[in-house]
Structure 1
Amino acid sequence: MGRVDIQPERTMLAWSGTSAKINFNGTGVKAVLQDEGGNNYYNVIIDGTVTQRIQIDAQKHAYTLAANLPKANHTLELFKLTEWAMGKTWLYEFDLDAGSALLAAPAIKKHKIEFFGNSITCGFAVLDTTGKDRGSAPYEDNYQSYAAITARHFDAEYYCTARSGIGVLVSWFPQIMPEMYDKVDPSNLQLKWDFTRYTPDVVVINLFQNDSWLVEHPEHPEFKARFGDKKPTPAQIVAAYQTFVKTIRSKYPKAQIICALGSMDASREGSPWPGYIKQAIVGLKDKSIQSFIFPAKNTPGHPSKKEQIDMANQLIGFIEKNVKW
């Protein structure tokens, strides 16, 4: 599940929330894995319950995912917690215990959802309880992001196209979302995603947090690269957002699109950024595009585990009220 690159000998997982899932009858499973740099973490989920969090190293070898289970039918899922900036992971095979058997693949879910987002959607620093807002791999957990929680609530297929620090007009690094949204592996510009492989019912776009900071920092190299010495006007900001949303609409003509913002300071009271989104939607004249602004959490740093749960509950309520699956 998610944007994975499936080849005969191995499958590459890069994006947050990508996963591999099997049904089997037996007592245990290993997986042969190799990581690009040893910075990626995964949840092992047995029969719907997270049983362990594992770090994958740069050597190709087998990892025990499940052992000493009752000999019965089970489901195993390997879920990527860290974002593609932490590197790629290659899955070579699942190796079942002796006397075990692979069963038919899990059924495709009825509902499908995709998120385009930044660090908030990635689950940046969600595990950091010290208040230091650390964004390194040990503290990131996409499974506990509002996006993944929302997808699980609706029992939906889940695709997460997100990277910390990314924006629509400008990012903290050279690439922006309109240049990244169509990649299987964003570090490989030639490997583009085939949008016919997955058609979401609902698309949630939660961007502009990083733009809201960077347009106020003309000294930043990415500001200079994108804008020169003059910040974009509100009209230019709105137009850029409209262009990106229209691009997503061109890929998913029938999807219901939710243009979200928050829950950090870009959605605070008095911020112009919610207004830019609402103005863009009015100009698009598309009845299947709606806005949803998460209330600003008004606490330092990125959303905590509790704040991610709050965001999920808010979004779930909005979808239940406004979206027809």
Structure 2
Amino acid sequence: MMQTLPTLKKVTTTALVLLGLLTASCKTTPATQSPAQGALVSAQDSHIAYQGRIGHAGPDAAELYWSGTTIRLNFEGTTVKAWLKDESGDNYYNVIVDGDSLHLLRPDTTRRAYTLTYNLPEGKHTLELFKRTEYDRGKTQFYGFELGSDTKLLPPPAPQKRRIEFYGNSITAGYAVEDNSGKDQPDSTYTNHYLSYAALTARHFSAASHVICKSGIGVMVSWFPYTMPEIFDRLNPALPESKWDFTKYKPDIVVINLLQNDSWLVKRPEHDEFKRVFGTTPPSQEFIVNAYRSFVQQIRAKYPDAQIICMLGNMDITREGSPWPGYVQQAVAGMHDTKIHTLVVPYKNTPGHPDRQEQQQLANSLIRFIESNISW
């Protein structure tokens, strides 16, 4: 049985077909062996390279939660399928072949195989599955790759020498970055972390990237009943008991771009979350500075040697006359840590979330700052 999946515009000309193909089950191959042509490559196979906080659903599946989580494979041949099952059917993945082809894959809630590459030219190829949507769309289970009869694995991609970690809100998530209507629509079709300043910066430096972000989240208060300090240390962000092992990934640089939602909500005493967190009295400047400093100190405790960039922008939190850049600068100054920096990106002066051009402007500012201030 063959089912055509939703596909967005093709970016380059490499021949890929995204078809949802329900196929017969295959026996998994142990990670210690090199899979034969036509075999199913287990999710635990050492030929597969992961990026991001990856969980495990039993011995045969990896779980993907966070924006920017990536699965990479090197191979020689023409055809590779991925066995996937999505929790909600509302997640989207970019399928990237040889670094220059981009297609959209939307796995459904049935475990099945999806053809990712088809009719490629002979030779060696790279394949990347990139999670563009946020964790509130549910997790995806990845059971492994299925190779075509003419396809064989090559050694896995080498680990990147540079490492970055991002903590952010909708700006970092790439919320509505592909909504050209100006309506800032929340549908997951329009969210694409691949086009966010975070992903653009990581690719510029050929760096590995871990991304901990959620639209609407704040440091003190969010549009929902939890904040970044409550979830920053989770593996599965939906489960409070699911904790990430910080020894598994040591970033050279940590970028924190938060407070945009705080800056809105502290002015909304009628909102339920304002009432829950602050009661009837807005937070003082001292409270805001201490709350932000406390979160940065939590990050510093996890990564004693990392360079930390406390970034703001480019929505109205950095509008001329805004007090929030001063709050961040005061918080950082009070820590007397020469490896903690501030970067304020000017207000984009347009409504809604950053579009593609404005995300690129954010990336350009961050890239210039890193190149000018950090040796790595």
The TM-score by the shorter chain falls in which range? Answer: over 0.9
Structure label with greater radius of gyration:
2
Matched residues in 2 for 1:284 and 1:51: separation? 43
- The answer to whether the Cα contact below 8 Å between 2:79 and 2:150 also exists between their aligned partners in 1 is no
1:204 to 217, 233, 255: 255
Give the C-alpha shift of residue 92 in structure 1: 0.5
Which region of structure 1 is more displaced relative to structure 2, 70-79 or 269-278? 70-79
Paired residue secondary structure (1:113)? strand
Contact 1:204 1:258 in 2 (8 A): yes
2:213 matched to 1:159?
no
Matched, 1:66 2:112: no
- Cα offset, 1:278, TM superposition: 0.1
- State which of 140, 151, 161 in structure 2 corresponds to 1:100: 151
In 2, Cα distance between equivalents of 1:286 and 1:171? 28
Residue 106 of structure 2 aligns to a residue whose secondary structure is strand
- Asked if 2 retains the 8 angstrom alpha-carbon contact of 1:47 and 1:76, the reply is yes
Instruction: Quote the Cα distance in structure 2 between the aligned partners of 1:106 and 1:225.
Output: 47
Q: In structure 1, how many angstroms separate the alpha carbons of the residues matched to 2:318 and 2:236?
A: 30
Distance in 2, matches of 1:99 and 1:190, equals 44
Taking the aligned partners of 2:142 and 2:240, their CA distance within structure 1 comes to: 22
Unaligned runs of 5+ in 1: none
Distance 1:273 1:115 in 2: 20
Question: Is the CA contact 1:5–1:184 (under 8 Å) kept in the aligned structure 2?
Answer: yes
Mapping of residues 205-284 of structure 1, within 5 Å: 205-284=256-335
Q: TM-score, normalised by structure 2?
A: 0.85
The alpha-carbon deviation at position 98 of structure 1 amounts to: 0.5
Map residues 153-192 of structure 1 onto 2, 5 A cutoff. Answer: 153-192=204-243
Post-superposition offset of 1:101: 1.1
Shift of 1:102: 1.3
1:175 shift after superposition: 1.0
TM-score, normalised with respect to structure 1: 0.99
> Which has the larger helix fraction?
1
Deviation at 1:103? 1.4
Report sequence identity in percent.
Answer: 55
Query: Which range moved further: 5-14 or 241-250?
Result: 5-14
CA distance in 2, matches of 1:49, 1:175: 38
SS state of the match for residue 290, structure 1?
strand
Residue identity in the other structure for 1:31: A
The code of the aligned residue for 2:126 comes to T
Shift of 1:99: 2.4
The number of aligned residues is 325
In structure 2, runs of 5+ residues without a counterpart are: 1-50
Moved over 2 A (4+): none
3-state SS in 1 of match to 2:184: coil
Deviations 1:111-158 (A, max 9, x none): 000100000000000000000011220110000000000000000001
Partner of 2:55: 5
Letter in 2 for 1:166: I
Map of 2:44 onto structure 1:
none
Letter in 1 for 2:208: E
User: How much has 1:54 moved relative to structure 2?
Assistant: 1.1
Give the distance between the partners of 1:239 and 1:136, measured in 2 at CA: 35
Q: SS state of the match for residue 92, structure 2?
A: strand
Cα distance in 2 between the residues matched to 1:185 and 1:299: 34
Contact 1:43/1:50, CA 8 A, preserved across alignment: no
Does residue 136 in structure 1 map to residue 187 in structure 2?
Answer: yes
